[in-house]
Amino acid sequence: MPKPRQTTPDMTDQARFDGVFAALAAAGVAYWFDLRGATGVREDRLHDYERVARCCGTARWVGEHVGITDTGGAYWGLDGVLYGGRRPSTTHPIKELWWSFNHEHPDLADLLVALFRQQGIDAWWGGELYDAVLVNLAAPRIAGTPAPALPSTAV
């Protein structure tokens, strides 16, 4: 697994996510992080994840659609915080994300948890094959939590 860059307590979440994305790409994992939001149709999300994996030539994928399309999805604020909704009545900081992964490769859940923790963001997976990975954006940030050693996930 690639060595993550050092995190600092004052890093924005946007910078931390960039570190996760860079590490996923270096590990040969296709990722889809869609700020347009979800339509509410599960198959739409799955098709997006599978399409990006095919484009990258791998079956190893993770993905998340942030917010819902009807309220404008989500966006990164100037403060580096992830906000949901694009109308004054619907804008709010996103508190949690539920990342999907290819369940034929359950090690991807462990990898996601490790990468987010390395970037100082709380993440959890309960170990159930069809559960998603919870990324808790409401939890306090910590500087570079050491992650457990993982086997190489390079394709």
- DSSP, collapsed to helix, strand or coil, labels residue 126 as coil
pLDDT in tens, 77-118: 999 999 998 776 778 899 999 999 999 999 999 999 999 999
| pTM score | 0.83
Question: Any idea what the Cα angle at residue 24 is, between residues 23 and 28, rounded to 5°?
Answer: 115
In the structure encoding, which two tokens stand for residue 153, read together?
A: 């996930």
Task: For residue 24, count CB atoms less than 10 angstroms from its CB and return exposed for 0-12, middle for 13-18, buried for 19 or more.
Answer: buried
**Bridge partners, residue 83, by sequence:** 75, 93
Q: Provide φ and ψ at 137, rounded to 5°.
A: -80, -10
pLDDT in tens, 119-146: 999 999 999 988 999 999 999 887 654 4
pLDDT in tens, 38-82: 887 777 888 999 999 999 999 999 999 998 888 889 999 999 999
